Amino acid sequence: MLSLLAETKYHKHVKAFLENNTDYRYIEELGVGSYGVAYLIEHSGSHKKYVLKRMKAKHRSKEKLRQKFNLEIQLLKEIGLLNTPSVISQGEIENIPFYIMDFIEGQTFEQAIFRDGNTFSLDQSLSITKQLLEYVVILHNKGIVHRDLRIPNILFKDDQLYIIDFGLASYIDKNIQSEVIDNPKRAQNHISDLYFIGHFLLFLLYSTYTPTIKKERSWQQELQLPEPVVHYIERLLLLGEPFSSAEEALSLMPLEYASSTR
């Protein structure tokens, strides 16, 4: 309850800060994560929309989390690609760090699948995953791993993919050995992003699946995919030999089952 009251209090601080110190106006709260809160705001002159993200109030005295929040800002600045939001400005509101970034007015794959009921065929799913991998290769070449490539964090607009929420991103640790990774989701190397991409691809493929029996089966049994596709996904999910890099995963995609465009 105290935590909720603290966050409600800081909502008011954010609104007051925008009104009294900036050319932006508050529109609405976009979402709350483990470490931060995001708001949709609008520039009063251009009427262009942006996102203000702040650290949660309850974390303001935790130096490690403050460092992590500042790392997120630093990484976004270093990435500098059209597929990710650009940082516009940063600062503090009542001792809470925040930054303002571009608002990408796209649709997440979570919304597309679960809210709007969109479906993705095998060839579409592979083509979309190829585009995602192409971006991830660029990201890894910049020495950065996202570590949270879930369907709420991947958007599409005009057939172009965008990646948001770099709150768990980190620099790549080249000294990590794949065989000793306990939790692939949190690995600070390519394994993490490829593991998430494997699950992302499965979400796309399951969008066309309708159960025919009540008994739950493995995805290999339920989806009835071509053997090369099954083998490829198993490697992404560490059920087979792991890929040595995102470049290798991209080069070995079974694209004979994918069209060149969505």
Please give the positions annotated as active site.
Answer: 148
Three-class SS of residue 230? helix
Which residues contact residue 145 at a Cβ distance below 8 angstroms, ignoring those fewer than 6 apart? Answer: 139, 169, 170, 171, 172, 187, 188, 189, 190, 192, 193
Strand partners, 31: 38
Dihedral sign, CA of 96, 74, 190, 53? positive
Please state, as a whole number, how many other Cβ atoms lie within 10 Å of the Cβ of residue 249: 24
Helix (H) or strand (E) holding 108: strand 107-108
Question: Is residue 53 marked as binding?
Answer: yes
Per the structure block, which two tokens stand in for 156? 């599409």
Q: Which residues contact 161 (CB under 8 A, 6 or more apart)?
A: 83, 128, 131, 132, 135, 154, 155
- CA 115, chain centre distance (Å): 18
Annotated binding residues, written as ranges, equal: 53
Annotated binding residues for ATP, written as ranges, equal: 53
